């Protein structure tokens, strides 16, 4: 009986030593004692599987330099460090630490340089904590087995510790494929002669968005790492032109570099990127943008771009999101063939200088959920076709010169999903009926935000407003009496 139980426990222990689940201390200790008392020979082989003492020491330094606002890291030195929270080890007899994964753990403090001694580390994920201070010098070159580094959403500051390449021109190989340093306080230039970047030929994703990096966009990566799929440089202080070399990253699906101090045109080479799905860049919209037919998201907002919406953009029939807000684009929109953009869900052409009638063709894009034309010089009336947009929930065309508020309201009242309607600063000096029967009993069933201010409308505060059962915010300001 006892023998049977023992062999069962021994099997458990073998399983433990290979997969190392995080067991509560008590049951782990229970098994441990069992071994010590009854299976001394077996214990010897098990003890060899305990975590590497040097690695444990490095981890102790790490934990000694951080604290948690949630619960302290329960890294008890009398327990195998391979079973500590967030730690994974390899299967070798020395049980080296291969991964530290502690995202969203409320950690503050610094990243101690001892992590550099974890030579077998292949994954380091400390994202979404409150860690601060500089990254240890030499971090990247010391961790030359690292494949995934995610330090995003912390407060790390200072320069990136990317050593310069050896003078002798010899190249080291770095297996890293994912680097996410986004949303920190990092700064300085990302130098082209960094040994790490040159040797990271497997790099697939590189995100340094939302920091304070300066200098030029590090496009040389596209020379060393031809598999690059995602590049995000947005929201930094990068300056200079958008480099042609980016066109060499022929597997690129996401390229984001907006909100920097970049200038110049979008380089022609970018059009050869046939797999590009997301483009977020400064610069004028190129006439042949339609060559990027895989594009799902085009964001060129707040770019000081001039010209018109290129006719060829209609070929980008995979577009889901088109954002050209806050530029100096002009011309008439009624010439543009929106009808090809059947996947378009969000369209923002606000704050430009578009003229002519509100384009009816836009209402043939059946997937639209949000449309913004606000802050242009558009004329004409709302077309009854808008009712065909069954998913439309946001519509803003304020600050234009549209006419016929009576027509607009009687049409829009049957857009059942509409939750935001901003039509202020239009319909100047028109009179709107105040009669309750002006709207149908089930008018605007989901409208929460409604703005018709600034239009010098005449008449009484309309009784039909009472019919908007879901209304939460109403702007009637700066009208005559209304």
Ligand X SMILES: *[C@@H]1O[C@H](CO)[C@@H](O)[C@H](O)[C@H]1NC(C)=O
Question: Site residues (CB under 6 A) for ligand X?
Answer: 152, 182-183, 207, 209-210, 230, 232, 254, 256, 304, 381, 384, 404, 406-407, 410-411
Total Cβ atoms within 10 A of residue 72: 11
Residue 61 three-state SS: helix
Nearest Cα to Cα of residue 438 among 417, 412, 456, 475: 412
Sheet holding 377-379, edge to edge: 330-332, 353-357, 377-379
CB of 467 to ligand X, least distance (A): 19
- Residue 326 CB, shortest distance to ligand X, in Å, is 10
C-beta of 92: minimal distance to ligand X in Å?
A: 34
Secondary structure, 3-state, 224-242: HCCCCCEEECCCCCCEEEC
CB of 444 to ligand X, least distance (A): 16
Nearest approach, Cβ of residue 263 and ligand X (Å): 9
Whichever of 13 and 228 has its CB closer to ligand X, that residue is: 228
Comparison of 46 and 200: residue with beta carbon closer to ligand X: 200
Look-up of token digits 């975590």? 51
Question: What is the closest distance, in whole angstroms, from the C-beta atom of residue 359 to ligand X in the complex?
Answer: 16
- Choose between 116 and 127: whose C-beta lies nearer to ligand X: 127
Q: Quick one: 192 or 381, whose CB is closer to ligand X?
A: 381
d(CA 304, CA 328): 6
Closest CB to ligand X among residues 9, 387: 387
CB of 11 to ligand X, least distance (A): 44
Q: Which residue, 145 or 253, has its beta carbon nearer to ligand X?
A: 253
Least Å distance, CB 183 to ligand X, is 4
Q: Which is nearer to ligand X, 65 or 183 (CB)?
A: 183
Residue 322 or 412: which CB sits closer to ligand X? 412
If we measure between CA atoms, which residue out of 201, 56, 55, 180 comes closest to residue 125?
180
Residue 171 CB, nearest approach to ligand X (Å): 27
- CA gyration radius, the chain: 30
Report the nearest approach of ligand X to the CB of residue 411 (Å).
6
Report in angstroms how near the CB of residue 323 gets to ligand X at its nearest: 15
SS3 content of the chain, % helix, strand, coil (to 5): 25, 20, 55
Q: Are 418 and 445 in contact (CB under 8 A)?
A: no
d(C-alpha 295, C-alpha 275), whole Å: 8
Name the closest residue to ligand X (Cβ).
Answer: 407
Query: Residue 216: which residues within 8 A CB-CB, separation 6 or more?
Result: 189, 238, 239, 240, 241, 243
Q: What kind and span of H or E run contains 354?
A: strand 353-357
Q: Which C-beta is closer to ligand X: that of 152 or that of 396?
A: 152
317 and 293 in contact (C-beta within 8 Å)? Answer: yes
Alpha carbon distance 404, 400 (integer Å): 13
415 Cβ contact list (under 8 Å, min separation 6): 386, 387, 389, 392, 395, 444
Considering the complex, state which of residue 62 and residue 233 has its C-beta at the smaller distance from ligand X: 233
Q: Are 210 and 183 spatial neighbours (Cβ–Cβ below 8 Å)?
A: yes
Q: Is 148 exposed, middle or buried (0-12, 13-18, 19+ CB in 10 A)?
A: middle
- Output the smallest distance, CB 378 to ligand X, in A: 16
Residues forming beta bridges with residue 88, ordered by sequence position: 99
Nearer to ligand X, 206 or 354 (CB): 206
Question: Any residues with CB less than 8 A from the CB of 212 and at least 6 apart, and which?
Answer: 185, 186, 187, 236, 237
Place of tokens 């596209």: 222
Nearer to ligand X, 132 or 141 (CB): 132
């Amino acid at each position: 009986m006892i023998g049977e139980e023992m062999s069962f426990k021994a099997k458990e222990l073998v399983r433990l030593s290979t997969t190392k689940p995080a067991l509560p201390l008590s049951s782990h200790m229970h098994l441990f004692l069992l071994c010590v008392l009854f299976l001394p020979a077996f214990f010897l082989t098990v003890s060899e599987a305990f975590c590497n003492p040097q690695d444990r020491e490095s981890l102790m330094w790490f934990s000694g330099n951080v604290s948690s606002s949630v619960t302290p890291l329960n890294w008890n030195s009398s327990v195998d460090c391979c079973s500590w929270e967030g730690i994974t080890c390899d299967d070798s007899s020395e049980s080296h630490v291969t991964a530290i994964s502690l995202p969203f753990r409320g950690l503050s403090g610094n990243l101690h340089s001892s992590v550099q001694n974890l030579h077998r580390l292949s994954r380091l994920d400390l994202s979404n904590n409150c860690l601060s201070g500089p990254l240890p010098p030499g971090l990247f070159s010391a961790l030359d087995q690292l494949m995934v580094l995610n330090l995003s959403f912390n407060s790390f500051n200072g320069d990136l510790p990317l050593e310069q390449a050896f003078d002798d021109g010899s190249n080291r190989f770095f297996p890293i494929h994912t680097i996410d340093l986004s949303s920190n306080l990092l700064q300085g230039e990302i130098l082209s002669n960094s040994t790490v970047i040159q040797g990271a030929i497997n790099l697939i994703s590189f995100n340094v968005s939302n920091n304070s990096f300066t200098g030029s966009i590090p496009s040389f990566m596209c020379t060393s790492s031809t598999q690059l799929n995602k590049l995000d440089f947005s929201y930094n202080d990068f300056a200079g032109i958008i480099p042609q070399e980016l066109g060499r990253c022929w597997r690129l699906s996401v390229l984001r570099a907006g909100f920097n101090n970049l200038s110049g045109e979008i380089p022609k080479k970018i059009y050869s990127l046939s797999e590009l799905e997301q483009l977020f860049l400064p610069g004028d919209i190129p006439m042949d943008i339609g060559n990027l037919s895989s594009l799902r998201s085009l964001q060129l907002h707040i770019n000081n771009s001039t010209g018109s919406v290129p006719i060829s953009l209609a070929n980008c029939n995979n577009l889901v999101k088109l954002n050209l807000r806050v530029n100096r684009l002009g011309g008439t929109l009624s010439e543009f063939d929106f009808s090809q953009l059947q996947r378009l869900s969000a369209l923002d052409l606000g704050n430009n200088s578009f003229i002519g009638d509100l384009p009816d063709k836009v209402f043939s894009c059946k997937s639209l959920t949000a449309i913004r034309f606000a802050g242009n010089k558009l004329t004409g009336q709302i077309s009854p076709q808008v009712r065909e947009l069954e998913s439309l929930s946001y519509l803003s065309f304020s600050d234009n010169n549209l006419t016929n508020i009576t027509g607009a309201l009687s049409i829009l009242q049957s857009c059942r999903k509409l939750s935001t309607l901003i039509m202020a600063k239009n319909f100047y000096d028109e009179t709107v009926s105040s009669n309750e029967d002006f709207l149908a009993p089930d008018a605007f069933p989901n409208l929460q935000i409604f703005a018709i201010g600034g239009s010098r409308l005449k008449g009484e505060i309309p009784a039909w407003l009472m019919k908007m059962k879901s209304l939460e915010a109403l702007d009637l300001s700066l009208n005559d009496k209304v």
